[in-house]
Amino acid sequence: MSTPNETLEEILDLAARHFDVSRDTLAPDDDFFAKLRIDSLKALELLSRLEGHFGVELPDWEMQGVTDFRTLSERIHARR
């Protein structure tokens, strides 16, 4: 099982690849909506990809209000 930091790094790597941005521009506490310039549909696309990658399912109620990579990572790591 990976550590919380490893999960966070994987999320940042996957988000950078998925949205074709430099990994160096993404930080754990970034608001991914603002940083990636995405809307809620693109965020759902990212979430779906992350759920598949990590083999978890994140209920909608648990994701409400989550906008930064660190919190997203914590939620995913808790379900692994």
DSSP states of 20-74 as a string? T--GGG--TTSBHHHHHT--HHHHHHHHHHHHHHHT----HHHHTT--BHHHHHH
Please tell me the predicted confidence (pLDDT) of residue 56: 96
* The CATH number, out of the four listed (1.10.1200.10, 3.30.950.10, 3.30.990.10, 3.40.50.150), of the domain defined by the range 4-79: 1.10.1200.10
Please tell me the predicted confidence (pLDDT) of residue 60: 86
pLDDT per position as a tens digit, 47-57? 999 999 999 99
Q: What is the pTM of this model?
A: 0.91
Please tell me the predicted confidence (pLDDT) of residue 35: 95
Positions of the chain with pLDDT lower than 50, given as ranges? none
Angle at 38 between CA 37 and CA 44, to 5 degrees: 155
Please tell me the predicted confidence (pLDDT) of residue 2: 84
Please tell me the predicted confidence (pLDDT) of residue 80: 85
Query: Cα-Cα-Cα-Cα dihedral of 69, 74, 76, 78, to 10°?
Result: 180
**43 phi-psi bin (left φ>0, alpha ψ -120 to 50, beta other):** alpha
